[in-house]
Amino acid sequence: MSDFAEFTFRAQPGFDEALAREIVTGSIPVRTIVMYCFDPRAAGAAQAVADHFGDEVYPGALLLDETGRRIGSTATVFPLIVGGGRAADALRSITVSQHLFGLERVVVVHHSFCGATSFTAEGITAAWKDEQHSDISSLYDWDGIAITDFEKSLNYDVSLIRNSPGTPEHVEIYGLFYDIDSGELTEIVRDVPAEVAR
């Protein structure tokens, strides 16, 4: 078995967790997470969100040291790609991103003709039991599996993120609908704390 320890911060001489965090924060200026579906047709969502807000850099450029090692990036947008763009799969990443980079904004994007609109929670659960011989009925919150209504799913996901203890109170959260054919974004939900909105 290979030893990949040399590729971790912890294995470096003189490792200091607080200093390592400072270095990561200073090297990668991420401030916005854009969560969207793994459907290749939705691949333009992160760029569309960067353009929508106007103050974001995406995809940015890699920063190299004198030896050619990748030491940073100019991107301010961090794409988070999950099935259906659903928030339940992204909560840990939001917490980690806040810890490493300090977030200002989380954007949930659900897109037109998403595969998650082709089934119901009941339907996928029944099919899974029949085909995989396993009961997933209590594995997920049923409101977070399928998309039956874009406004409801975006409101649900924004609320799930806002109410997570791993989401900082100051973070702005948006729910956007992305038309995969036109590239147009429509804001459906905006949850901006009062002190940020001023």
* Per-residue pLDDT reduced to its tens digit, 134-187: 999 999 888 999 999 999 999 999 999 999 999 999 999 999 999 999 999 999
Please tell me the predicted confidence (pLDDT) of residue 5.
86
Every domain of the chain and the residues it spans = 33-193
Q: What is the pLDDT of residue 10?
A: 87
pTM of the model: 0.92
Burial class (CB in 10 A: 0-12, 13-18, 19+), 198: exposed
Q: Which CATH architecture has domain 33-193?
A: 3-Layer(aba) Sandwich (3.40)
pLDDT of the residue at 197: 58
Q: How much is the pLDDT for 198?
A: 52
Helix axes 91-101, 17-27, angle to 10 degrees: 90
Q: What is the mean pLDDT of the chain?
A: 94
Spatial contact of 85 and 35, defined as CB atoms under 8 Å apart: yes
